[in-house]
Structure 1
Amino acid sequence: MNFGPISISDKSAFQGFSKREFLFYLNWFHENLTPILVMEIFSDLSKFEKENYDKAIELANKFGGSGNPTNADYLELLIGSLLGKEIIMNGKILFSHGTPFNDKETNTKGLFIDITPINSLLLRIATNKLTEEDKEFSKTWRKKTLNFDIDTIYTKLNQRKLILPQPKREEEITPIAIKLLSNKKTEKDWLLFFLDIFLLTKPLKDKIYNRWQASKHIYKLSNFAPYAYHCFLSFLTVVIATKHGIIKNNPTNFLDLNYIYYLPFCQVFISNDRLHKLLVPQLKRENQFFVTGEDMKKDIKRILNDIDLVKEEHHPLSLKIKNREFPNINSESLIESIRNKCLVPGAFS
């Protein structure tokens, strides 16, 4: 297993890598496989053109099988957070399930993680063994996901008299959202708005609201449910940016937003997407890195080109590659710079 910095790639970055480039990338980063990436690849099947179908299979094959264990679904974590469960947000992957074990011979503890339904789906895509139910679900999922109506969101905001100030500069989007969610006078309205937006059932809404009522004099919304607050804040930044024309009103915005829900569970976030380039630098922790897919691909291509030039078996670079040491070919390497900053004591904090 690779113990490099934990990274998340969105589809725009992932599909930009060749298979060789992606496998090289996996030598130096531990990719947090998010459910949304697999579902985006899966949704390409719903277009039914052979080109898109073949593209989905090609993308799935880059993982070389079923892929890494997946992060727990954001909605599961959001609900847990609202019910008072502590969701650790320090750059580590939160697996959806696992069986703890204790190796008595080595006196070490670990977690056995079996293949998840998402991993099984990825493997079926890669091997072109999808069922008719898979294909129908792909079609339904894509239609439902792209049917997110921004006007409905504006209507719900107006019903609760929640006003979104216009940022003077792009850098003000997140500070404005934080200020809105920190206003004690409207905290209740924001909580109820988001419980509605995330389509929670009435019994669940009631349970969460009762918990908030019992603790509202002690906790701010950000402390009441820290991970849920991250999701609320991320959602609100997208709505503010869309309403005031900073980003286009595109149905795929809310697909892209899904990746940001997983931001607390990585050290490096990689994307070519305009929305991510705008908002992830504002929402990330200080010790996280945002890298464009173009820059990552450029660095990987340069290293691979240099590796291809190495012919001698005992060349210093050949030995480094053989020993799985990072090939320090260029002191300006983006990958090496990120790894050196991430793989230090205290990086997960």
Structure 2
Amino acid sequence: MLEVIGDLAKRAKRGTPESMVAALAAKTSSLGSLPNVLHTELIDQEILGNPVEMRGVPIVGGAQTVTTSTGEKGVFFDESPEEKALRRWQEGAFDEDEHAHASVYRKNAKSIDLQAFIRATKAVRPKGEMLASSLSELLGVVDLFLDDPGSQYRTLSTALDMFDQPESSKRHVKKHWAAYGRPPIRYFLPYTYHCMRVFKLFGLGVGLGLISQRPTNVIDLQYLYYLPFCMVFTSADNLHHDLAPLFLKDEQWYVKSDDMQAALRELVAYYADHRAELKATGMMGFGRYPPLSQETVIHQIYDDLMPRWRKDALVPKKKISAEESDRIMKELRPIMEAIGKRASKGD
């Protein structure tokens, strides 16, 4: 979303920058799509003491707490701030702040000094010696540096400086870190640590010539900050090809864009040949699992992450009975009423 809105300050080959951004935004369907909260906001929240879950699912903004007439509490998600912005962009509506952000974004992207990474790397590298000959080796060096038991205060200070934390936040988190017995930063601020680890590898990789000095690499790098919130990461970017697998856990998948697109084309062809079944039962019924007659990388992912799916795919989806529907609505009604009351008050 940051990269798309940045195009507002870009000269369009056809039409206007606004029409170009609207077209890009329109490619993201609101059905089954959830924008993640911005990584800088997550870092700020973690430093303030709010844990960031990193279990392969997106973190969505805009949650509202509601209390029913019977005293039950729940959390309601309407449109998140990111979803609202995306919908506006699809309609070609942009506010002044977004135009200003686009100008700053593109200006910063052009002013990134990659030579600074090279100078910094020379400063820490013994003369005539290589820190590492590959990115995987270099990540080991980064981990030794960041996880050094005697230098955790330095690691914490580096993280706070790297992500532009105000002095008040720095004092706050250092005080709490000391109160908790000065634990390793890897466990004390796990998400902030992940982002710092990604950035450190990139900076040293550029400095050693293991990563190219293409200016847009700094922008592309930010996608890797969201790896903890996905099960599968797919990309056509060479930087992602090199770096993403190094930061994924064993249960996560990295799929090259060409392989994913080939699999999706097979699915499209299959559903085109089965229009009648699709129309009769709907996509959520007929297409809830990949076709058993095919074998693609998508099937491999399902086999690994949802090992029961082939058996479940053989069982027809049950329709909800009228009695079950009534029971569900009876449970939901107090919550819906509480949401309605909150909306009427303008909360």
Give TM-score scaled by structure 2 length.
0.75
> Is 2:277 aligned against 1:338?
no
Q: Residues 89 and 64 from structure 1, CA distance in 2 versus in 1: closer, same or farther, beyond 3 angstroms? A: closer
Point out the structure with the larger helix share: 2
1:185 is aligned to 2:150: yes
Determine the C-alpha separation between the residues in 2 that align with 1:259 and 1:141: 15
- Equivalent position to 1:136, from 89, 93, 100: 100
Distance verdict in 2 for CA 1:236–1:288, change over 3 Å? same
Query: What is the rounded CA distance, in whole Å, between the counterparts of 1:151 and 1:196 in structure 2?
Result: 20
Check if 1:48 corresponds to 2:11.
yes
Q: Which residue of 2 aligns with 1:124?
A: 88
Give the drift of 1:183. Answer: 1.3
- Count of equivalent residues: 303
Going from structure 1 to structure 2, the CA distance change for 1:120 and 1:56 (only over 3 Å counts) comes to same
Matching residue within 222, 244, 264 for 2:228? 264
Residue 326 in structure 1 maps to residue 289 in structure 2: yes
1:6: which partner in 2? Answer: none
Distance in 2, Cα, partners of 1:336 & 1:319? 22
CA distance in 1, matches of 2:74, 2:35: 17
Q: Which amino acid aligns with 1:221?
A: I
- Counterpart of 1:254, as a letter, is V
Displacement after TM superposition at 1:307 (Å): 2.8
Distance 1:219 1:162, change over 3 A: farther
The aligned counterpart of 1:171 is: 136
Q: CA deviation at 1:324?
A: 2.8
Q: Deviations over 1:264-313 (max 9, x none)?
A: 111111111111111111111110011112211111112212332346x3
Larger radius of gyration: 2
- Pick one of 236, 239, 253 that aligns with 2:217: 253
RMSD: 3.4
Q: Would the alpha carbon gap of residues 65 and 303 (structure 1) be closer, same or farther in structure 2, given more than 3 Å must change?
A: closer
Q: What residue is the counterpart of 1:87 in the other structure?
A: 52
8 Å CA contact 1:320, 1:327 repeated in 2? no
Going from structure 1 to structure 2, the CA distance change for 1:291 and 1:225 (only over 3 Å counts) comes to same
Q: 2:258 aligns with which of 291, 294, 300?
A: 294
Residue 70 (1) aligns with residue 35 (2): yes
Q: Which residue of 1 aligns with 2:335?
A: none
- From 204, 208, 212, the equivalent of 2:173 is 208
Could you tell me how far apart the structure 2 residues matched to 1:327 and 1:288 are? 19
**Could you tell me how far apart the structure 1 residues matched to 2:85 and 2:240 are?**
26
Shift of 1:253: 2.1
Which has the higher relative contact order, 1 or 2, with Cα contacts under 8 A spaced 6 or more apart? 1
Contact 1:268–1:289, Cα closer than 8 Å, also in 2:
yes
The structural deviation recorded for 1:89 is 1.0
Consecutive unaligned residues of structure 2, counting only runs of 5 or more, are 309-347
**TM-score w.r.t. length of structure 1:** 0.74
Which residue identity does 2:12 align to in structure 1?
E
Gaps of 5+ in 1: 1-37
Structure-2 residue corresponding to 1:147: 111
Task: Sort the Cα spacing of 1:340 and 1:172 in 2 relative to 1 into closer, same or farther, 3 A.
Answer: same
Change over 3 Å in CA distance of 1:340–1:112 after alignment to 2: farther
Please state whether the residue corresponding to 1:186 is helix, strand or coil. Answer: helix
Deviates more, 1:268-277 or 1:95-104: 95-104
Q: Is contact 2:36–2:60 with CA below 8 Å preserved after alignment?
A: yes
Q: Percent identity?
A: 24
Structure 1 pair 344–111 and aligned structure 2 pair: CA distance change class (3 A): farther
Equivalent in the alignment of 2:78: 114
Residue 234 of structure 2: SS of its match in structure 1? strand
Contact 1:66/1:122 (CA < 8 Å) preserved in 2?
A: no
- How far 1:72 sits from its partner (Å)? 2.1
Letter in 1 for 2:164: L
**In 1, are the aligned partners of 2:236 and 2:257 still within 8 Å (CA)?**
yes
Q: Give 1:146 shift.
A: 4.2
Q: Secondary structure at the match of 2:61?
A: coil
Per-residue deviation, 1:154: 6.1
1:199 maps to which residue?
164
Q: Which amino acid aligns with 1:137?
A: H
Distance 1:49 1:224, change over 3 A: same
Report the Cα distance in structure 1 between the residues aligned to 2:122 and 2:175, rounded to whole angstroms. 24
* Deviation by residue 1:323-349 (Cα, 9 ceiling, x = unmatched): 33334254421112212322359xxxx
